[in-house]
Amino acid sequence: MLKTILFIAIGGAIGSVLRFLTTVLVSKFYSNHFPLATFMVNVIGCFLIGILMGFLTKNALDNSNLKYFLVTGFCGGFTTFSAFGIENVTLLQNNNTILAFAYMAVSILLSLFAVWLGLFVAK
């Protein structure tokens, strides 16, 4: 059990740092009301989780430490639906209602598509 927690913690740390660096990089080239970095991280993370789960399941590794490291740890630390939530509330509080609902709809639909695409690519 401790070994599993260690795999999750290390993967989560790597994913969290990569998520932060993505935000730093995107903010250097893009500044607008739309939270592009979080949007990108969520879609990329969903695509990765689809590929990883497809690969791990296909190779009977879906209960392995690799899954805990990559899926639970890395993807869990990398994706940011908690940030997604606060950003949407902030958009709504700032009377950017249309942008908030557009962001929600596009994020959810594109993320679900990315998971499907990741699973398809893994096959």
Annotation: binding site for Na(+): 76, 79
- Tell me which residue of 37, 22, 43 sits closest to 107, measured CA to CA: 43
Phi, psi torsion values for 73, nearest 5 degrees = -80, -70
**What is the distance between the alpha carbons of residues 1 and 34, in angstroms, rounded to a whole number?**
41
Amino acid (one-letter) located at 57: T
Other C-beta atoms closer than 10 Å to the C-beta of 107 total 20
| Angle (CA) 47 53 58, round 5° | 130
Q: Per the annotation, where are the binding residues? A: 76, 79
